[in-house]
Chain A
Amino acid sequence: MNCEELLQRTSFIELSARERARALLDAGSMRELIGPFERMVSPWLARQGVVTQADDGVVVAKGRIDREPAVVLAIEGAYQGGSMGEVGGAKIAGALELAAEDNRRGIPTRAVIVFETGGVRLQEANLGLAAIAEIHAAIVDLRRYQAVVGITAGTVGCFGGMSIAAGLCSHMIVTQEARLGLNGPAVIEQEAGIAEYDSRDRPFIWSFTGGEQRYRSKLADAYVDDDAHAIRETIRAALRAGAPARHRSDRHEDFLACLAAVDPTQQARPDAVRALYKEGL
C-alpha cells in the first residue's frame, strides 16, 4: 500500500465492532439483534467490580451480503480484551445455531465472525469456556451448509479457545496487524520463561504469530491489507467460493505429521515453521 492508497482507504482496524459489522453487510441491510438497548449485560462482572458494556462486547448483526441472507458476529476487542463471557458467547453460539436452522429450512443464511479476542473471560471462567465450546459445535454444524468465514484484523488478534473457533472456520482471513495463536505471548512467557519467549519483543511475537506468518504457514487462507473495502471483497469472494471439500480441521493428521517432524533440539525460527508446513500440507 503506497502513501496515496493509505490516505484513501478506510481502515477496518480502526472501526468499532458495530461499525465493522455494518461495513461488511450490504449497505442499509443491517439489523442488530440483542443490541445495547436490550441491556443484556454480563451478570458476573459488576459483582467483581468491573464496569459492564451494554452489549457485552458482541455485536450480532443480521443483514445481507451479496444480497443473500447473512449474519455478522463482531467481537469488540477494546472491551475487556474481546474476552468471551457467558452472554457474549451465547450471543455468538445462538446466532450460529439459528443460521444453521435457517439452512435446514431452506434459507441460505451465511455467517461471518470478526474475531478480536484474547479468548475466555477469566472472570466468568467455566461459563465462558462452555460458551466457546458451543461456538465450536455451532460452526461445525453450520459449515455443513454454508462457508463460515472468519477474520481477525487486529490489533488484539485471536487467541485461546477462540483461536480454535478460527481454526474451524471454512475460510480464515488475516491482516499484517493481526495475530493468531492458541496461547497469548504473555502466557507463553510466563510458562516458558523470558529467555524462550519475550512477550514485549513485538517483531519477534509477530514473526511467529502475526497474520503474514500464519498465512505463509497455511494457517490462514487470505492475507489482506487493513482496508475495509478489500476485506469486504475478500469475504464476499470466500462466501461465493463456499465451503471447501475438506476443512482445515479435517486435515488434523497432516498437521500432526508436520509437528512430528519438528526437531525440538533446534531453536524454532519463523522461516523454519513456514518451510515445515509448506512441505507437509
Chain B
Amino acid sequence: MEKISLEFPAAAPARGRAAVGVVGSGDLEVLLEPNTAGSTTVSITTSVNGMARVWEAVLARVLGASPLPATKIEINDFGATPGVVRMRVEQAFEELNATGGK
C-alpha cells in the first residue's frame, strides 16, 4: 500500500461534492469535495506500490486539460488500470455537474 499526494491548478471552488466507484478488484473510489480557489489537491491511497509517476501522468491529463472546479480529491484504489482511473475521476466531476454536488 502506498500514499501519494499531488496538486494541480484549478478554477473556482467546486459547489458540492460527489462520491463514485468502489474499492473493488481493478476499481477505485473517488471522493470530491470543494477546495479553495485555484488549486486541486489529490490524496491517493493505492494497493499497488511504485506507480506514482503513472498516477501523476494520468491525473495531469484529466485535471490539467481545462480548468476544472477546485476540489479536494480522495482516491482509494484497488489496482485500477489508468483507463479506469480516468473514467472514474471524470465520472465524479460529471456527477458534481449533474447534481450540483447534492
Task: Assess the A79–B1 pair: CB atoms within 8 A.
Answer: no
Task: Assess the B22–A54 pair: CB atoms within 8 A.
Answer: no
A76 is an interface residue with CB less than 8 A from chain B: yes
State A36–B33 Cα separation when bound (angstroms): 11
* Chain B 1-12 interface mask (CB, 8 Å, partner A; 1/0): 100000000000
Residue numbers in B under 8 Å from A36 (CB-CB):
19, 29, 31
* A window 40-74: CB within 8 A of B: 46, 49-54
B76 is an interface residue with CB less than 8 A from chain A: yes
Task: Assess the B33–A37 pair: CB atoms within 8 A.
Answer: yes
* Main SS class of interface, A: loop
Shortest distance from the beta carbon of A104 to any chain B beta carbon, whole Å: 33
Task: Assess the B78–A76 pair: CB atoms within 8 A.
Answer: no
A78 is an interface residue with CB less than 8 A from chain B: yes
Residue numbers in B under 8 Å from A53 (CB-CB):
22-23, 29, 76
State A52–B46 Cα separation when bound (angstroms): 10
State A226–B19 Cα separation when bound (angstroms): 25
Task: Assess the B17–A37 pair: CB atoms within 8 A.
Answer: yes
Task: Assess the A54–B74 pair: CB atoms within 8 A.
Answer: yes
21 A-B pairs with CB atoms under 8 Å apart are A16-B22, A35-B19, A36-B19, A36-B29, A51-B23, A51-B45, A51-B47, A51-B78, A52-B23, A52-B45, A52-B76, A53-B23, A53-B29, A54-B29, A76-B24, A78-B22, A78-B23, A78-B24, A79-B23, A79-B24, A80-B23
Interface residues of A (CB under 8 A from B): 16-17, 35-37, 46, 49-54, 76, 78-80
